[in-house]
A and B are shown apart, each in its own frame.
Chain A
Amino acid sequence: MTNSIIRQCDVLVIGSGGAGLMAAIYAARQGGHVILLEKGAYGRSGCTILGGYSCNAAFGNVDVNDNPRVHAEDTLRAGQYINAPDLVEIFVQEAPQRVLELAEFGVPFDRKDGRLDQGLMPGNSYPRACYSDFQTGRMMMAGMRREVRKYSNITIYEGEIVTHLLQDGNQVVGARSVRWSDSQPCTFLAGAVVLATGGSAQLYERSTVSIDNTGDGMVLALEAGATLKDLEFVQFLPFVMCYPHLLGLNPGTPEGFRFVDVRLTNNKGEEFAEQAFPKWRNKATRDVLAQMLYQEIRAGRASPNGGLYLSVAHNPEQEIRENLSAFFLPLLKQGVDLRKDSVEVAPAAHYHMGGIQIDTNGWTGVPGLFAAGEVTAGVHGANRLAGNALSEILVFGARAGKAAAEYSNIVHAAKAQSQQGYKKLPEWRVDPQGLRPATFKTRLQHLMWNHCGIIRHQEGLEQAMQALAQLRYEAETILAISSPITVYNREILDLLEAKSMIILAQVIVASAMVRKESRGAHYRSDFPDMNDEGYKANVLVVRQGDGWEIELSPIRMQSQQRKNDNE
């Protein structure tokens, strides 16, 4: 391998989902050269296209009582008050402007009497979800891609798998990648880097996310010296299809069945939720529902396919057709008649609230390194309010892109040869008898699902730690690709992802061990109550040599610190 491919730019954006595109657009408006890297395919990879419905912005178009203040309160309540208040404030204030900007990009948000229509989502006090048919994320991405095309100073490279960030001292000055098309290493030098690589739900056996959601950016940031925060908070959706296997429909489709009355039964025909939580339909949050379903499945009362039965058949036909119009016909085409058939559902990982700690400009605290979107932490705290993800990527993608461009204007372009990590090459072994990356990933996903998933406890987490240590050893010794092909080899991509996933898994488990309470999406059966005294705090992880250091940072001390800083 050679070091021949070197490209220079002012701002390097890694990841081409919604946060990455907004960052690229806002950076390009400052006039410099922007390079956008995507490890998969531009426009196809990433989770933004999967955003089915809601993009929150407190316009108050449908109910005049809504405003950014109420939106902030709802967001903090959902996040159990460990959100970063400054990020929440910026988010609720700027979400309406960014959504209007997307409408200017040509995104056809649904309208009523000329104004953007807004739907009511669970946990929100008022209707504030803007939407575009039932493919809001896809339409938003189309609009942002049209906007990207207007900037000749944005260059896009697909199939670039970033393996580490380049640093001059601690200043981030670029990234190294492996080009998937020919396995050549590439160097990208930049005045500033924006990580917009998305979440990590692929660490779990069952998930609703796209294949690339492997948490790469969190590990890149950790290794560069940034702080990771609240990684223990992973959101699980309760009602994710497990049988029949949905063809080409979002696996989270049954979530939408709640627009009519639903019946949830186990393999004995018992309405188990009724017994545990009589008002669950209106009152139970997603995390509580996910726990109920998970417990029922673990107790051996699941269907032969491992799920629970969800039915809407007892509703009048007209209501099923009208209120579930987005699902009724597509499901009927696949042989599922909601007028008489039930479907089988089980919880699945959906969103990672934790991630890289940032300030209001998306700065990570490491010079030259910015981040935006699901890869970051702070806006959502311990749990995410439905509808906040699609507008978060707009607000903070824009802010991080602009701040990165401004930063790159004041630093000098780096020289490749002088950078730490420049000569470091990603390594993989070829061994037809080795441990295959696909097998490795499956084992890791299984471990995380069983021991660091919906219900956690000390013993399970300790087991997970041990098993992950073994897996990490195997990653360094026997993990190998099975053929020497260097042209578009999926095993190389899987292997590089796997090596990053194992590190992230260890840090998530370590974070879950530190938080000895239950809050939001983090449920510990050995500490089932919320403990504000000890844990109204963020769990912070910082690299320390080859390992890391974990610290509990109480919210009240952070606000005291802010107060002191302002004086």
Chain B
Amino acid sequence: MNDDTAVVKIARTKTPGYDLEQMATYQVPFSAGWSVLDALNYIYTNHDGTLIHPFYCRSGFCTGCLVELNGKKVLACKTPMLKEMTIRPAEEEDVVRDLLETGHDLLPK
């Protein structure tokens, strides 16, 4: 693996009418200043338009980008990207597609 490349594995869901790998692997340029969200957006923009990962405010307010990164729940926008990342939805049972879920609500009540 190249020094400035990160390997990102993402858990995908079965999608009607379309054949997706269950665990897809992507290579992304590594940048110390980038967040996990930046890496996901890079994949969507440059590699794979079928990837669904939710995010709205990009600033840690909406909590929409909650994922499980290497076994730990994190907000993708608040977490620096790593050289090796395995990304899964935060709550498997609430998944509607890829990393998009319904259900959890971390906003102030």
Interface residues of A (CB under 8 A from B): 40-41, 43-47, 49-50, 135, 137-139, 141-142, 146, 181, 210-212, 243-251, 436-439, 442, 481-491
Contact = CB atoms under 8 A, between A and B. Distances in A.
A391 B108 CA distance: 20
Contacts of B51: 490
24 contacts: A43-B105, A45-B56, A46-B56, A138-B61, A142-B107, A210-B58, A211-B58, A245-B38, A246-B59, A248-B78, A248-B79, A250-B59, A250-B60, A251-B59, A481-B49, A483-B49, A483-B50, A484-B18, A485-B18, A486-B17, A487-B16, A487-B96, A488-B97, A488-B100
B5 interface: no
Contacts of B61: 49-50, 135, 137-138, 250
B30 interface: no
Given A249-B59, A438-B45, A483-B18, A244 B97 contact: no
A202 to B, nearest CB: 11
A483 B20 CA distance: 11
A245 B59 CA distance: 11
A142 B108 contact: yes
A458 B56 CA distance: 35
Interface of B: 15-18, 33-35, 38, 44-45, 49-52, 54-64, 75, 77-80, 96-97, 100, 105, 107-109
Q: Which 7 A-B pairs have the closest CB atoms?
A: A248-B78, A248-B60, A44-B62, A245-B33, A482-B49, A142-B108, A44-B64
A485 B62 contact: no
Contacts, number: 111
Contacts of A139: 108
Contacts of B45: 438-439, 442
A138 B78 CA distance: 17
B44 A490 contact: yes
Contacts of B107: 43-44, 49, 138, 141-142
A184 to B, nearest CB: 13
Contact of B50 (A47, A244, A245, A485): A485
B15 A41 contact: no
A137 B60 CA distance: 13
Contact of A482 (B16, B50, B97, B109): B50
Nearest to B35: A247
A431 to B, nearest CB: 11
Given A43-B105, A44-B107, A211 B50 contact: no
A481 B64 CA distance: 24
B109 A490 contact: no
A249 to B, nearest CB: 6
Nearest to A51: B61
Contact of A211 (B15, B18, B56, B78): B56
Nearest to A244: B33
Nearest to B59: A250
B55 to A, nearest CB: 7
A197 B56 CA distance: 14
B31 to A, nearest CB: 8
Nearest to B50: A483
A483 B51 CA distance: 10
A41 B59 CA distance: 16
Contacts of B58: 210-211, 251
A146 B109 CA distance: 7
A251 B33 CA distance: 14
Contacts of A146: 109
Contact of A247 (B77, B105, B108, B109): B77
B49 A488 contact: no
A212 B38 CA distance: 17
Nearest to A43: B107
Nearest to B46: A438
Contacts of A243: 33
Contacts of A135: 61
A249 B63 CA distance: 12
A490 B49 contact: yes
A142 B63 CA distance: 14
Contacts of A488: 52, 96-97, 100
Given A44-B62, A50-B61, A248-B78, 19 more contacts: A41-B64, A43-B62, A43-B107, A44-B56, A49-B62, A50-B57, A50-B59, A138-B107, A138-B108, A210-B59, A243-B33, A250-B59, A442-B45, A482-B49, A483-B18, A484-B17, A485-B50, A489-B50, A490-B52
Contacts of A137: 61
Contact of B49 (A141, A181, A246, A438): A438
A41 B109 CA distance: 16
A243 B32 CA distance: 11
B62 A181 contact: no
Contacts of B55: 211
A47 B59 CA distance: 11
